[in-house]
Structure 1
Amino acid sequence: MCGRYYIEIDNAEFRSIIAEVERNTAIKTGEIYPTNVAPVLSPTGVMTAMRWGFPKFDGKGEIINARSETAAEKSMFRNPMMEGRCLIPASWYFEWEKRGTKKIKYVLMNPNKKPVWMAGLSKIDYKTGLPSYVVLTRPAWSGISFIHDRMPVILPEERHDEWLNGHDPVGTMNRAVNEVSYEMV
């Protein structure tokens, strides 16, 4: 779930975000894949570049998502849930519907076409010293569950400060956006 998303550089809000972050570090735009460096609103409220994925304990591969229902209990996510909450901006995200042996690609976005702000967790990679993030996921809204059974936790603008600075992250996630629009690509 949520293995790719997109940052549209033609959007004025994203041009501003990209300009702010690229003063210090080059970032990826367009289709964002795991391990890419992308813009993220850090726990301190500053736009910064972070790498997508927490390294697995065995060093083989990346964890790119965390289940919102259990993140606070898991050792990998417990501390980031308290101190590393972040927001990942996207124009939209992608999901694939499985139909037999075929996979149908969909774009999922805010119905109002505004950016999607996905709740995430961040931490500093102890080996590289660089910041990294994962996307929090939740059960899919019933209107898209035929595509995939999970979706990112998408927070409306009025919940951003509460997510970054509040004391009840689970309660904030429970007030996430449910409905998204979608189209086949």
Structure 2
Amino acid sequence: MCARFSLTETPEDVEAYLALMELEPFPPRYNIAPTQPILMVVAGETPPPGSNRPDRRALLVRWGFIPGWVKDTANYPLMINARSETAIEKTSFKVAMRHRRALIPASGFYEWRRDGKRKSQAYWVRPRNGGIVAFAGLYEPWANAEGSEMDTGAILTTNASEDLRFIHDRMPVIIEQKDFARWLDCKTQEPRHVAELMKPAQADFFEAIPVSDKVNKFSNTGPEIQERFIETMVEPKKTTRGKSPEPDNQMKLF
């Protein structure tokens, strides 16, 4: 799954990578968490006059997909991910898979290697050669009973690539730049036409860097959460063979 990710490239880099005409300035975001706004890119209606660039729009979307038919979200689960293998048939996602596919620019994502039920070690997973990646996403407009509207979205996931399975068995679907147009084309490309794009990334495309548990708190938003974590080992005290170790000062009264 993907429960945290990062986007630290400049708006100009994101514009160039996704062939956007213009993007509002935004600060680097090192720890993007569920329910926060995320940047999604969707297909527009027609190419801008005189432009060779495709017509693509940037949206700010709440990370947490809510199907349009949901009336009350109080007891509805927070759906930040959608399994690519079942999204085409699943009631919650099948309409969005047909009509509202999106790209989510990212610098990488965080994942935790679990030891039983406990999160044991966090990893910052980023492209080995740096740069931006585009997650496959779905978005859905939702309105509450009072008529207030917002766009919501989820990240599509797939089986983890072989080199990342030691951390987790799932990862975000990565859409390659050459496939952007096909993925976003919901007019002529049905879900079955783009199903082969929802596959694990190539082995060695990403590198996994162990990081500290600072990333666990969404209030930690600085670049230090991506620093490599090096566990400090405490050397045991040496003792003289045949003699009892000297008691520490806390046990000395005189």
Unaligned runs of 5+ in 2: 45-55, 212-254
In structure 2, distance between residues paired with 1:27 and 1:123: 25
**Would the aligned equivalents of 1:7 and 1:29 in 2 still touch at CA under 8 Å?**
yes
2:6 counterpart residue number: 6
1:178 counterpart residue number: 202
2:159 counterpart residue number: 139
2:100 counterpart residue number: 84
**Would the aligned equivalents of 2:11 and 2:23 in 1 still touch at CA under 8 Å?**
no
Answer yes or no: is 1:50 the counterpart of 2:61. Answer: yes
CA change 1:162–1:143 in 2 (3 A) is same
CA change 1:113–1:75 in 2 (3 A) is same
CA change 1:39–1:11 in 2 (3 A) is closer
2:142 counterpart residue number: 125
In structure 1, distance between residues paired with 2:11 and 2:127: 14
- State the structure with more CA Rg: 2
Unaligned runs of 5+ in 1: none
* Shift of residue 83, structure 1, vs aligned partner: 0.5
* Shift of residue 21, structure 1, vs aligned partner: 4.6
Helix, strand or coil at the partner of 1:54? coil
Aligned match for 2:112, one of 72, 76, 96: 96
In structure 2, distance between residues paired with 1:11 and 1:54: 25
TM-score (norm. length: structure 2): 0.64
Amino acid at match of 2:142: D
Helix, strand or coil at the partner of 2:163? coil
Quick one: percent identity of the two aligned structures? 32
**Would the aligned equivalents of 1:153 and 1:173 in 2 still touch at CA under 8 Å?**
yes
Q: Aligned Cα RMSD in Å? A: 2.7
Number of residue equivalences? 182
**Would the aligned equivalents of 1:41 and 1:86 in 2 still touch at CA under 8 Å?**
yes
2:130 counterpart residue number: 113
Answer yes or no: is 1:34 the counterpart of 2:16. Answer: no
Structure number having the greater strand percentage: 1
* Shift of residue 178, structure 1, vs aligned partner: 2.7
* Shift of residue 136, structure 1, vs aligned partner: 0.2
1:57-96, Cα deviation, whole Å (9 max, x unpaired): 5623411000000000001100000001000111110000
